[in-house]
Amino acid sequence: MDNNVSDFIKLATHPLKFRLYLLSKLPAAFFSGVPFKWLTQNPFHSTYFASLSMAAEMSTGALALAQIYKRNPPVSMLVVKVESEYFKKANSKTYFTCNDGKLFYNAVEESIATGEGRTIRAKSIGVNDKSEVVAEFYITWSFKAKSNLK
């Protein structure tokens, strides 16, 4: 595993450091926290779709950030499309997982090698505490290596 990826994993798994990272870089995620809190509920006592979307994006975004963390040359990343489908009411904590780490690695490596932008479509699956699928999201990410020439 690349040292920068290992460094990012250490940051992301350290509770205090990660909360501070969220506060400084993603304040909306910091304040809403894990879905199914009062702040993330809709009037029907389930998690608001935008909060589910944020959690799904974060499950893919963590993989993206791990690949670009402290990269030389730096690589920019951007969400360019979000697709979602909902299957059950999210009335408990919903846990999102993305298993597309290799797609992120390949896109970043190709962008660095070619100097051109690359996009990937990552899947995030949200399940409730009974392991029932609540929602599926597809987040399309764009990566572009920045030029070292200034």
The residue extents of the domains of the chain are: 3-145
pTM of the model: 0.85
d(CA 150, CA 23): 31
- pLDDT higher than 90, residue 35: no
- Report the range of poorest mean pLDDT among 25-39, 65-79, 96-110: 25-39
Q: Which tokens belong to 136?
A: 């599926």
DSSP helix/strand/coil, 30: helix
The helix or strand, by DSSP H or E, that contains position 63, with its residue range, turns out to be: helix 49-68
Percent of the residues in the chain that have a pLDDT greater than 70, as a whole number: 95
C-alpha span between 94 and 96 (Å, rounded): 7
Tens-place pLDDT, residues 73-85 = 999 999 999 999 9
pLDDT in tens, 19-32: 888 888 878 777 77
CATH ID of 3-145, from 3.10.129.10, 2.20.140.10, 3.40.50.10380, 3.30.300.30: 3.10.129.10
